[in-house]
Amino acid sequence: MTTSPVSEEIDFVYTWVDGEKNAALREQFAAAQINSEAGDKANVTSRDINILNRFRDNREIIQSINSVHRFAPFVRKIFIVAAEGQVPDWYNSNDYPDVEMVFHPELFGVEYADMLPTFNSHSIEAMLPFIPGLSERFVYFNDDMFLGAPVTSEDFFDPDGTAIVRIRGEVEAFWQTHKKAWRNYRGNLYGHLKKQFPGISVYDTAHQCRTLLKSSCLNAWKNREFKDLLICTAKDKFRDLSNIPPIELFSNMILIEKKARIVRQQDVVIQLFDRSVLGPEFCALKNLQPRFYCINDDMCTPSPGHLNRLQRYLSHHLPHHLNDSSRPGSRFQPARPKLGAVISQIAHTVSWCNRMLGAMLDKIFS
């Protein structure tokens, strides 16, 4: 990849976990908490334990990086942030010269070394601005977020350097007690931002890759109250409902500093459950070919066959696989957003009915 002038460099950043090892550790942690004293047991209820799917690795990250290579050739460097010693089995620096592994001790340093090991994504996200060599402009991906069509640097930053922050809407005060954990975290942040900046709106960013500025992230760390919140969140080994979401703080910080503009955008999220009908879901995605999308694994107890089928779809049926001359048998399919939207709605409806029927049968025969 051609290196741009320093002022124009854009890096992409991923966080990744070795799902098998961390899932086992998560189960051990939950069992230890449940079998502990009453005070600790009560603490389990305060945790976001939505769990094993959060640590499962379907090899999404290599497909996400392939989508970046296909659709965003301007990227200077791709960082993968992982626990010490955990490296994806596909990674070889000779094959991926633009991809660099960064391990948690490099981010947490000596000052916060006692917080490791951590399995809390909020903790890791809080430390992202400390990635050695990170460019001022960067884009943050979860490992299940993808590019589905060609993008340019101006899809993330205006020519004058203004960041583009994509939002779903505004955070409301009542979110702090919301039953959905992700809203709960944003509700926590809402109170603290409103306290410091009473007149502002607090925004909920779209569930896709986020555009960030390192200087604004570091300014959040320089703010005494925000630093305390980030440290308090980073101390939790697993997500806790008292946490704030650091990426949301950083995104709102860019807006507060007037270094960004807002784009309202609907998420494209393929939400997969134990009995999701995978073929139509991925067919819809091929027709939509959105620029940004997420494939969210919400499967709790999937069968091995269902997981294997999902992994085959991820390896062969994503938008960046279309018309790829390096892949035998691939063929060009133009985007058909209306058709994709119809197929998506049908697929979601069939998947919902399938889940409901399965749940009823489970109750009858359990």
Q: Domain containing 109 — which CATH number?
A: 3.90.550
Tell me whether residue 196 is in a domain.
Answer: yes
Task: Kindly state whether residues 200 and 224 are assigned to the same domain.
Answer: yes
* Percent above pLDDT 70 for the chain: 84
Evaluate if residue 208 carries a pLDDT over 60: yes
User: Which helix (H) or strand (E) is 311 found in, with range?
Assistant: helix 304-316
Amino acid at 315: S
| Domain's final residue, options 219, 242, 264 | 264
Task: Tell me if residue 49 falls in helix, strand or coil.
Answer: coil
Tell me whether residue 252 is in a domain.
Answer: yes
pTM score: 0.88
Question: Are 12 and 151 a contacting pair, CB within 8 Å?
Answer: no
Of 4 and 11, more confident: 11
Q: Rounded to an integer, what distance in angstroms lies between the CA atom of residue 65 and that of residue 133?
A: 19
Task: Kindly state whether residues 208 and 290 are assigned to the same domain.
Answer: no
The stretch 311-337 carries a mean pLDDT of 80
| Domain's final residue, options 232, 264, 296 | 264
Burial letters 292-329, b for 16+ CB under 10 A, else e: bbbbbbebeebeeebeeebeebbeebbbbbbeeeeeee
Task: Kindly state whether residues 243 and 323 are assigned to the same domain.
Answer: no
Q: Rounded to an integer, what distance in angstroms lies between the CA atom of residue 213 and that of residue 129?
A: 9
**Pairing between strand 77-82 and 99-103?**
parallel
Phi and psi dihedrals of 76, rounded to 5? -75, -55
Instruction: Please report the pLDDT score of residue 57 as a whole number.
Output: 79
User: Which helix (H) or strand (E) is 259 found in, with range?
Assistant: none
Task: Kindly state whether residues 192 and 170 are assigned to the same domain.
Answer: yes
The domain in which residue 213 lies consists of 6-18+57-264
Of 329 and 168, more confident: 168
Tell me whether residue 50 is in a domain.
Answer: no
Tokens of 110: 């000596």
Task: Kindly state whether residues 127 and 235 are assigned to the same domain.
Answer: yes
Tell me whether residue 322 is in a domain.
Answer: yes
Task: Kindly state whether residues 151 and 254 are assigned to the same domain.
Answer: yes
Q: Rounded to an integer, what distance in angstroms lies between the CA atom of residue 246 and that of residue 80?
A: 18
| Domain's final residue, options 264, 291, 317 | 264
Question: Are 88 and 16 a contacting pair, CB within 8 Å?
Answer: yes
Instruction: Please report the pLDDT score of residue 4 as a whole number.
Output: 39
Tell me whether residue 313 is in a domain.
Answer: yes
Evaluate if residue 37 carries a pLDDT over 60: no
Tell me whether residue 189 is in a domain.
Answer: yes
Evaluate if residue 103 carries a pLDDT over 50: yes
Task: Kindly state whether residues 344 and 253 are assigned to the same domain.
Answer: no
Helix axes 246-256, 214-222, angle to 10 degrees: 100
Instruction: Please report the pLDDT score of residue 115 as a whole number.
Output: 95
Question: Are 166 and 205 a contacting pair, CB within 8 Å?
Answer: yes
Tell me whether residue 217 is in a domain.
Answer: yes
Evaluate if residue 114 carries a pLDDT over 70: yes
Tokens of 229: 């919140």
* 286 Cβ neighbours under 8 A, 6+ residues apart: 317, 318, 319, 322, 333, 340
**Span between the terminal Cα atoms of the chain, in Å:** 56
Instruction: Please report the pLDDT score of residue 265 as a whole number.
Output: 85
Task: Kindly state whether residues 278 and 260 are assigned to the same domain.
Answer: no
Task: Kindly state whether residues 149 and 215 are assigned to the same domain.
Answer: yes
Task: Tell me if residue 130 falls in helix, strand or coil.
Answer: helix
Evaluate if residue 35 carries a pLDDT over 50: no
Question: Are 131 and 79 a contacting pair, CB within 8 Å?
Answer: yes
Task: Kindly state whether residues 296 and 323 are assigned to the same domain.
Answer: yes
**Percentages helix, strand, coil for the chain, rounded to the nearest 5?**
45, 15, 35
Task: Kindly state whether residues 179 and 73 are assigned to the same domain.
Answer: yes
The stretch 173-179 carries a mean pLDDT of 89
Instruction: Please report the pLDDT score of residue 27 as a whole number.
Output: 61
Task: Kindly state whether residues 334 and 310 are assigned to the same domain.
Answer: yes
Q: Rounded to an integer, what distance in angstroms lies between the CA atom of residue 54 and that of residue 23?
A: 8
Amino acid at 307: L
Tokens of 358: 């399965």
* Percent above pLDDT 90 for the chain: 63
Mean pLDDT, the chain, whole residue set: 87
Number of domains in the chain: 2
Tell me whether residue 317 is in a domain.
Answer: yes
